Amino acid sequence: MADIALQAGICILAHYEKPDTAHKDDGSPVTQADVEAEALIEKALATLLPGVPIAAEEACSAGRLPRVDGAFLLVDPLDGTKDFIARNGQFTVNIALIEARMPVLGVIFAPALGKIWLGADKAVTADVLAGAKLAQARHRRDIKARQRPAKGLVAMASRSHMNAETERLLSALPIAERRPVGSSLKFCEIAEGLADVYVRAGRTMEWDTAAGHAILRAAGGDVREPDGAVFLYGKRDAKFANGDFIAAGDTSIWD
């Protein structure tokens, strides 16, 4: 799955200098890079895991919602489209495997940064270029989330989705610093022990969070509802929309 994400990076970077942008019915941007990367990923996953349903962002946005009674895949071919259009490098390819409504495997690749994160039985990061194979990655190392610092938490903040309810949830935590970061890189920062929490109230989609959730779980953290309830996937009736959540490296924050 990592090699598939790396190949999708080629599609994305081919459009990076001059993104061809349109808007979906909900007003969110979509580019030709999103469309081409998703087509590549879906085709490759169908070969790798034949018969496993795939819930991919652009297909679901067009109304093609798969049945997901058992194991299934969640794909965001270009997470952080606004960051891609802004050409700030903070966009990713996200692929996750869901079993029993929980993410058990996740891949996040940042094509412009040349970095990949993987989560299954453990969490790993490495440096690798788009189009390469994972076997060619350099500086591969295991990562672990950190315990919450006594001086206060470092919170990952969305660049474009702050709202009053998110601020309310943040105010309940001992936040010492906020850092604006795009796309699913927020989960990766926490999994690497570089930050502590990511709080989000309002609409996100399952493909936005699943890969980061898998990586964070493998690193010792978790994503849960604000009250600590388990954060589940496979909400087809809600068109795979998420509720509010907190991602944390140290799960004792829910205590």
pLDDT tens, residue order, the chain (255 aa): 999 999 999 999 999 988 777 777 776 878 899 999 999 999 999 999 999 999 999 999 999 999 999 999 999 999 999 899 999 999 999 999 999 999 999 999 999 999 999 999 999 999 999 999 999 999 999 999 999 999 999 999 876 667 899 999 999 999 999 999 999 999 999 999 999 999 999 889 999 999 999 999 999 999 999 999 999 999 999 999 999 999 999 999 998
- The predicted model scores a pTM of 0.95
For the chain, residues classed under CATH 3.40.190.80 are: 153-254
Q: pLDDT at position 137, please?
A: 98
Closest CA to 204 of 254, 247, 250, 145: 247
For the chain, residues classed under CATH 3.30.540.10 are: 2-142
- What does the alpha-carbon distance between residue 136 and residue 211 come to, in Å, rounded to a whole number? 22
β 197-200/153-157 pair status? parallel
Q: pLDDT at position 159, please?
A: 64
Q: Are 220 and 144 in contact (CB under 8 A)?
A: yes
Q: pLDDT at position 163, please?
A: 85
* CA 154, chain centre distance (Å): 19
Closest CA to 120 of 42, 191, 69, 34: 191
Pick the CATH number of 153-254 from 1.10.3720.10, 3.40.190.80, 3.90.226.10, 3.40.50.720: 3.40.190.80
CATH of domain 2-142: 3.30.540.10
Q: pLDDT at position 161, please?
A: 67
